[in-house]
Amino acid sequence: MKWFARIAIAFFGLLILAVAVLFVLGRRADAGRVHVVSEIDATPEQVWPWITEGAREKQWVSWLVEVRQDKSKTGVGAKEVWVMQDANSGGRREEMEAVCTEYKPLSRVSADISSVGMFDGRQSIAVENLGNGRTRVDVDGRFHYSQWFAALMEPLITPAATQKLAGDVAHLKSLVEQSKIKGAADGTASRTF
């Protein structure tokens, strides 16, 4: 019976150590930060609609199944609700509200984003004209998890969220570049979306 007690003590000791490590890592300077940069072979005019139009956002943001936009206001103060079908939670639908805090067409859009009882934060997407028909897209977000378990697991959640975002931005790059090629083939390349 002593061996059982020793195993139980060792197990609980490891569990407490793991929780302590997660707790400390969750307090680091970059906790909750997601950041991805990509260069796209297209002009800012060709990239911008994919970032700001709900129907196009649904094409490149994985898990995004619905975007409800308040059409009464555009730019700063405009609100959107994103409905995500989270693959990590058995496909449960979750809503996030975004309120635009900065809007500079063809250059930068920022929003405060929150999911009641789960997280809140701010995400910015900067679009930089690199010349020669190339654009840099820089997505930077900082999030705070209000749900205690998510806050504890932040050191695991943030890298997974960054990986998802990197995949989404790679998909954005692919879609924009494909639409540019398609536009050149059918003679609509000079139009903006």
Domain that holds residue 94: 31-185
- Look at residue 187 and tell me whether its pLDDT is greater than 50: no
In a domain, 11, yes or no: no
For 2-44, how does the pLDDT look when each residue is reduced to its tens digit (9 = 90+)?
A: 777 777 777 776 767 666 666 666 777 888 999 999 999 999 9
Q: Stretch 116-143: mean pLDDT, rounded?
A: 96
**Higher local confidence (pLDDT), 93 or 11:** 93
* CB neighbourhood size of 9 (10 A): 10
* C-alpha to C-alpha distance for 102 and 140, rounded to whole angstroms: 14
Contacts of 168 (CB under 8 A, 6+ apart): 60, 61, 62
Q: How far apart are CA 43 and CA 184, in angstroms?
A: 13
Predicted pLDDT at 27: 73
Closest by CA to 119, choosing from 97, 145, 84, is 145
Q: How far apart are CA 19 and CA 32, in angstroms?
A: 17
Looking at 26-153, list the stretches that DSSP marks H as alpha helix, in order from N- to C-terminal side: 44-52, 54-60, 148-152
Radius of gyration of the chain (CA): 21
Give me the CATH number covering residue 49.
3.30.530.20
Three-state DSSP at 78 gives coil
Please, where are the H alpha helices in 29-187?
44-52, 54-60, 148-152, 154-185
Q: How many domains does the chain have?
A: 1
What pLDDT is recorded for position 16?
74
In a domain, 126, yes or no: yes
Give the per-residue pLDDT at 193.
Answer: 27
